[in-house]
Structure 1
Amino acid sequence: MRYLFAGWLLSSVCLFQQAATRTVADEGLLVIRKGGTYTGVYRSLDSGIPCIRVETTEPVVLENCTLTGAGDLIKASGGADLVVRHCRGYGLPPTTDGKPRGRFLEAYKARRLLVEHNYLEQTSGIVVDRWSGDGSAGQTLTVRYNQGLNCDGRFRDGQGSARSSFLLLNTVQHLAGIAVSYNQFINQPDKSAVEDNINFYDSSGTPASPAQVHDNYVRGAYPFPATKADFHGTGLTTDGNAQGTAATTAGYIEAHHNQFVSTCNAAMNIAAGHDIVFHDNRLVTSGLLPDGTPLNATYAATAVFNYYKLPADAFARNRVVANTIGYVKAGYNVPFPNRHDLSTGFCAPCTGTTHLPNPITLQTEQNEWDLWQQKLRQRQFYVGPRPPVRK
């Protein structure tokens, strides 16, 4: 957690303009200045040049695209009205020192975003930086039915990484209609470098329309290397900064019926904000790598703590209710030996918890995958594009 977003840097490089309502490209780069539907294969080998840049406020649909790049795959400028669906995005190693792999999508002050049924692999996720829409049905944010593998913020020289999330909302404030649902995000140990899989940084819904984060499956939040003892990431965190007020910090967020599996440090944390509720989620961590090697960076499944020491009205009315938890941490006994389901001293508003019985094993984690697959089948939903990505 603890993001400080660097802001928006728009390259002055103009590669070429596509003006047609439907464009097909092969191994090219695309700058969109006219609304329409675009499909094709786009590739950039330069960390500083996106595969696709959206530079219009007219409605744009990116559909059935295949994107491969060392930098951002899609970059959208202010006022974008953008749909991204059934696209496949693959991050390449950075070409510049001190920079991570690019984002699948980075949007600055968008007016509308619908991101659905995409596949993103070895990227540094989706960033929504501020907002210009009014929160009506046609001007809000929806991220659903996506499939992500390995959020990867590592630098190319192996010396450090940038904080990366599968989904980061940065200062998207007082927006009605936010929906993040039925996404499948998986990080493999030693092949990824994620901070918080989902981070609401100074971002908020409204009292009448809290941001909805529901029915997502997130597996994996590990340091690099995975057996390292120090890690600050999570499955989901509401986040902010020490200057936050009730008007500017995270708020009005409801996260429910999600599954967070094998997450070091924590599964779900409220570190900043007000009027946030986590309920009916499943938080399961065995503390083991797939080969049985112990993880050293687990701590507690969930916590509610005023990390930034915000004023009372900016950190209030937060609840963690009716969640199912089995989280292994050696040496703790909360509520059973070698468990730390509720963070000691930082979970006063955590009530109605169902604690899974010991032992919590790799098979317990596998059961969460089985439940996720069952949920998708029963509801006749699918994640990722069609035809599906075969790995």
Structure 2
Amino acid sequence: MLPTALPRTLLLLGLLLAGATCALRSESEAVLVVRHGGTYTGRYHSTSSRQACIRIATTEPVVLENCELRGPGLLIDAREGGAHLTIRNCRGIGELPTTDNQASGRFLELNEGVRLLAEDNYLEHTSGLLVYRWQGDGSATQTITIRGNRARNIDGRYRNGGGAKVSFLQLNEVHGVERIDIGWNEVINEPDQSMVEDNINLHNSSGTASSPLLVHDNFIQGAYPVPATSPKFTGSGITTDGDASSGLTTTAYVDAYRNTVVSTCNAAMNIAAGHHNYFHNNHLVTSGLLPDGRRLTATYAGTAIFNAYEKPASVFYANRMHRNTIGFVSWGRQHPSANRHDLSTDACSPCTDTRHLPGPITLQTEQQARLRWQAQRQTWRTSRLE
């Protein structure tokens, strides 16, 4: 595709050409290889799980804006290192994988990046976003911002059955980066139309004491096994994760607040690794029911703080949960009342000032939580335009 700095007639010609599937030199070549900085727009369609729609092959600043990306494989490939990338108002649609034992590709996979701003994008039936390691210095122009995106049906299913553990967003081995901001994203997963593990998974990733990694004001609905009524599931809405053996490389300094998490099996939010992680003022609601009234059997507890990897006190410590509002149905359990398990009874002693929603917790309660968040999001969007 052509940078917008070129004459308008050439840009329009590039847009017309981008609407078709391009002939590729090799099975692994991307539809578009970006070798120079600039702003790129257009429609890009791959037909193979082995072919990305766009590959970033430059360390110059690149803006992908108003793009439509479709395909069974990786939509945006930024794995070569040093990417300085903005993705804005793009639409990414995953298609049925063309290879067995492989999920639909991610909307974005970025390794060793310098800048990532992903805002106001829409993604559907993809494996979400993965950010692996980081080269940026954490300044305002060299950090990670993932803001105002909408996702439908994060999908790790294979075409031949089974699937992979995928997330709307995973940060993996992103250590000590300041000014990370993950906010105002909307993620909705439908039962038996999606396959997600933790919707937001922070794996061996951290902010700093003076600039925590912010996860705020997101709406997450749905985290289910396949089929949705199965009794076992290990995912969640938001989780700190990671098996690092050092306090410097574990998940740390995460500040997660004002998130709304609805209808998740296993858990809504967990601190399962790291230190100095603080979850507060979140709204967590699960009715234990599918839209057609069938019971979910894989719900466990709304939230917990537990040392999942059995790390020493130098790695897992100083984690807190405070003033979260919770109504989490877990059939047969009783905390704080029948068929509820708002706080994991064996793993939430540091959870303080919890506001337990009055029962019964119903599908309508979940809908009310979504309407409440939508009103807040509209206020935020209006403030951006002022």
State the TM-score bracket (shorter-chain normalisation): over 0.9
2:216 — aligned with what? 214
TM-score between the two structures when normalised by the length of structure 1: 0.91
Q: Which residue of 2 aligns with 1:9?
A: none
Which residue number corresponds to residue 96 of structure 2? Answer: 93
User: What is the alpha-carbon distance in structure 1 between the residues aligned to residue 166 and residue 118 of structure 2?
Assistant: 18
Question: Could you list the per-position Cα deviations for residues 342-381 of structure 1 after superposition, in whole angstroms to 9, with x for gaps in the alignment?
Answer: 0011001100000001100000001011101211223335
Counterpart secondary structure, 2:267 = coil
Helix, strand or coil: the match of 1:40? strand
For residue 109 of structure 1, the aligned residue among 103, 109, 112 is 112
Partner of 2:376: 375
Query: Which whole-Å CA distance do the structure 1 matches of 2:72 and 2:5 have between them?
Result: 27
The answer on whether the counterparts of 2:168 and 2:187 sit within 8 Å (CA) in structure 1 is yes
- 1:250 maps to a residue whose letter is T
Rounded Cα–Cα distance in structure 2 between residues aligned with 1:75 and 1:321: 39
| 3-state DSSP of counterpart to 2:276 | strand
SS of residue paired to 2:101:
coil
Q: Paired residue for 1:186, among 188, 200, 203? A: 188
> Is contact 1:376-1:382 (8 Å) kept?
no
Distance 1:97 1:106 in 2: 20
Structure showing greater relative contact order (alpha-carbon pairs closer than 8 Å, 6 or more residues apart):
1
Equivalent pair of 2:269/2:304 in contact (CA under 8 Å): yes
Corresponding residue number in structure 2 for 1:26: 19
Is the Cα–Cα contact under 8 Å of residues 3 and 40 in structure 2 kept in the other structure?
no
Identical counterparts, % of pairs:
56
Q: Distance in 2 between matches of 1:378 and 1:30?
A: 37
Cα distance in structure 2, aligned partners of 1:248 and 1:379: 34
Q: Is the 8 A contact 2:38 2:63 kept in 1?
A: yes
Note the C-alpha offset of 1:332.
Answer: 1.1
**Cross-structure match for 1:118:** 121
- Residue 68, structure 1, aligned to residue 70, structure 2: yes
In the alignment, the residues of structure 2 paired with residue 381 and residue 336 of structure 1 have an alpha-carbon distance, to the nearest angstrom, of 40
Match of 2:84 in 1: 81
Q: Do 1:85 and 1:115's aligned partners in 2 also have CA atoms closer than 8 Å? A: yes
TM-score, scaled to structure 2: 0.92
Q: What CA deviation, in whole Å up to 9, does each residue of 1:175-203 have, x standing for no partner?
A: 00000000000000000000000000000
- Structure 2, unmatched stretches of 5+, are 7-13, 23-30
1:138-149 residue pairs with structure 2 within 5 A? 138-149=141-152
**Contact in 2 for aligned 1:302/1:343 (Cα 8 Å):** yes
Counterpart in the other structure of 2:311 = 310
Structure 2 distance, partners of 1:90, 1:183, is: 17
Change (3 A) 1:295 1:111: same
The whole-number CA distance in structure 2 between the counterparts of 1:378 and 1:134 is 32
What residue is the counterpart of 2:168 in the other structure? 166
Are the equivalent residues in 1 in contact too, given 2:121–2:150 (CA < 8 A)? yes
Q: How many residues align?
A: 365
Across the aligned residues of Structure 1 and Structure 2, the Cα RMSD in angstroms comes to: 1.4
1:254 aligned counterpart, secondary structure: strand
Task: Compute the displacement of 1:244 (Å).
Answer: 2.2
Query: Aligned AA for 1:113?
Result: L
The alpha carbon displacement at 1:266 in A equals 0.1
Amino acid across the alignment from 1:365 = E
Q: 1:19–1:33: 8 Å Cα contact kept in structure 2? A: no
